[in-house]
């Protein structure tokens, strides 16, 4: 954990002759936890680990969220607000916690976004040279007390300063500059009020949900559930999808609530449900948000410059971009690829099929921001979630989309699978092949191994997934993923487009069977995610 939390190229380097290591000098560094470490003993242990980079690498000021809890979007917000050198987030995102669960460390750079590959690679190389580190086991910091605390430490020429901040208030103040809170509050409290149900899944988002949606916007307290952050997330998997957010799904199926949302452990992913459990796919949510940005004061003032999506995300966003006459940038999976686009003013809104959406107000995906966007759209259009989605399909067509996850594979096995697939799909004879499924004939128009050239700095990122694109714009994508633990995962994405409104009511898993080649793979999938 310590290795990946230490150096950052934005700081100054100097050689430490005594230890033979590398010392980084920062002005300000931010530290955050997603709820995996909140018990007293664990908190002290976490604190020691937090102090390691601070003490050993001469950080002048350390900012920590009250009680050690800070969402990933709030980290990005605070880094940008105080112009910190960066931030260390102790999180494994949507993966389970507690005994036997997962743990991770993430480093965000000075723009508030995830470290780009060049920084992560440098950190890794330096980590291999570390021979020892220094700890201060007697140091005690009250994480519950807001304000500055200073400590005189041996071998330090000036006091070491720690500031405990209220991250919820700081983040809330940013949201106030983006949204029309009066319109949302009227929606939640006025005549014909919209009843909502929001599940924080015992992750970091509980305090944010209660403060923003309940205290600030007037939603009843019982609208928010599972809002106490727990180190094991209540024994649940904090992943906001139809597989794991079943408590919310069952509540929504009852018909009492018109809007439902769930968040992952660190608050950057979200899921939207309508009345009776109507599910909004992440790709549809991104496209619908893009088509309705005029409902948000921030975008009416700032304008819309362009959109970004990860390559596996459905092309529903592209149709919206075309209608708005703005560019859309297709990147590899991973939010870090969007930061350059936003910093250069090319991109206003970005999203991924893995339940993440965000805008240039931060450099991270932002679950609560997305929920407030949806509530703003509902308030402006005076329609239900389902009506908004169906109107979007009627105007732009529906993109049916499925993802199949082949998990727990040996890395060597995945290497040979992907190698053989690439040889098959990139053979020139594969182009033009036709596959008849019922009355429809699918013709292969293009295949490639996706490669991204950053339009800002020219950085090239290769081998980001294998694509089959058919003449009707249907797609099959094969991609390696390392986000499911130590073993490897191959993800298979299937997308098919239906323009005819009479075909908009099919189940995605049934519709996807029209896509050729899928039947070669779906029987061995260890987990299937449908949207």
- Which residues are marked as active site? 93
Whole-angstrom distance, CA of residue 221 vs CA of residue 216:
11
Cβ count within 10 A of residue 56: 21
Instruction: Report which secondary-structure segment, H or E, holds 332.
Output: none
- Cα 326 to chain centroid distance, Å, stands at 23
Whole-angstrom distance, CA of residue 258 vs CA of residue 278:
10
Here the tokens at position 195 are 């009843």
What's the angle, vertex CA 481, arms to CA 479 and CA 487, rounded to 5? 130
**First vs last C-alpha separation in the chain:** 35
Integer angstrom CA distances of residue 406 from 38, 174, 282, 401, 521: 33, 40, 20, 17, 9
Find out whether 388 and 377 touch, Cβ atoms under 8 Å: yes
Cβ count within 10 A of residue 481: 17
What's the angle, vertex CA 169, arms to CA 165 and CA 175, rounded to 5? 135
Here the tokens at position 371 are 């929920």
Find out whether 501 and 394 touch, Cβ atoms under 8 Å: yes
Find out whether 106 and 200 touch, Cβ atoms under 8 Å: no
């Amino acid at each position: 954990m310590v290795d990946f939390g230490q150096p950052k190229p934005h700081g100054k380097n100097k050689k430490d002759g005594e230890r033979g290591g590398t010392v980084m000098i920062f002005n300000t560094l931010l530290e955050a936890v997603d709820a995996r470490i909140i018990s007293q003993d664990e908190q002290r242990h976490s604190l020691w680990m937090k102090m390691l980079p601070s003490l050993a690498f001469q950080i002048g000021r350390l900012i920590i969220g009250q009680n050690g809890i800070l969402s990933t979007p709030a980290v990005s917000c605070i880094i940008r607000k105080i112009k910190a050198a960066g931030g260390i987030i102790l999180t494994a995102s949507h993966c389970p916690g507690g005994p036997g669960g997962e743990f991770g460390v993430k480093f965000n750079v000075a723009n508030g976004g995830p470290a780009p590959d060049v920084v992560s690679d440098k950190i890794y190389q330096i980590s291999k040279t570390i021979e020892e580190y220094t700890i201060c086991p007697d140091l005690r910091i009250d994480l519950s007390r807001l304000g500055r605390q200073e400590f005189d430490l041996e071998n330090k020429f000036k006091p070491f300063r720690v500031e405990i901040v209220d991250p919820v208030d700081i983040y809330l103040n940013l949201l106030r500059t983006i949204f029309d809170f009066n319109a949302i509050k009227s929606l939640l409290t006025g005549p014909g009020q919209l009843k909502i149900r929001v599940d924080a899944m015992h992750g970091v988002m509980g305090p944010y949900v209660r403060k923003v949606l309940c205290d600030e916007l007037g939603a009843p307290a019982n609208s928010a559930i599972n809002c106490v952050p727990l180190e094991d997330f209540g024994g649940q998997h904090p992943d906001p999808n139809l597989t794991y957010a079943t408590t919310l799904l069952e509540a929504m199926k009852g018909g009492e609530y018109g809007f439902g949302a769930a968040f992952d452990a660190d608050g950057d992913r979200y899921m939207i449900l309508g009345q009776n459990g109507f599910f909004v796919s992440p790709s549809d949510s991104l496209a619908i948000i893009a088509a309705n940005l005029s409902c948000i004061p921030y975008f009416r003032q700032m304008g819309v410059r362009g959109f970004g999506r990860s390559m596996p995300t459905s092309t529903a966003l592209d149709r919206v971009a075309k209608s708005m006459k703005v560019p859309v940038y297709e990147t590899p999976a991973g939010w870090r690829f969007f930061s350059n686009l936003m910093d250069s003013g090319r991109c206003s809104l970005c999203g991924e099929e893995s339940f993440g959406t965000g805008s240039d107000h931060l450099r991270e995906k932002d679950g609560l921001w997305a929920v407030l966007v949806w509530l703003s759209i509902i308030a402006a259009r005076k329609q239900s979630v389902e009506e908004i989605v169906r109107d979007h399909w009627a105007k732009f067509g529906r993109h049916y989309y499925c993802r199949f996850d082949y998990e727990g594979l040996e890395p060597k096995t995945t290497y040979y699978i992907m190698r053989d697939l690439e040889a098959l799909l990139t053979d020139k004879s594969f182009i033009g092949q036709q596959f008849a499924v019922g009355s429809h004939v699918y013709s292969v128009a293009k295949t490639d191994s996706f490669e991204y050239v950053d339009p800002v700095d020219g950085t090239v990122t290769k081998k980001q997934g294998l694509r089959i694109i058919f003449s009707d714009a249907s797609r099959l994508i094969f991609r390696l993923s390392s986000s499911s633990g130590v073993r490897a995962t191959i993800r298979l994405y299937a997308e098919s487009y239906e323009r005819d409104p009479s075909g908009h009511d099919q189940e995605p898993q049934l519709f996807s069977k029209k896509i050729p080649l899928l039947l070669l793979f779906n029987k061995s999938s260890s987990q299937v995610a449908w949207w």
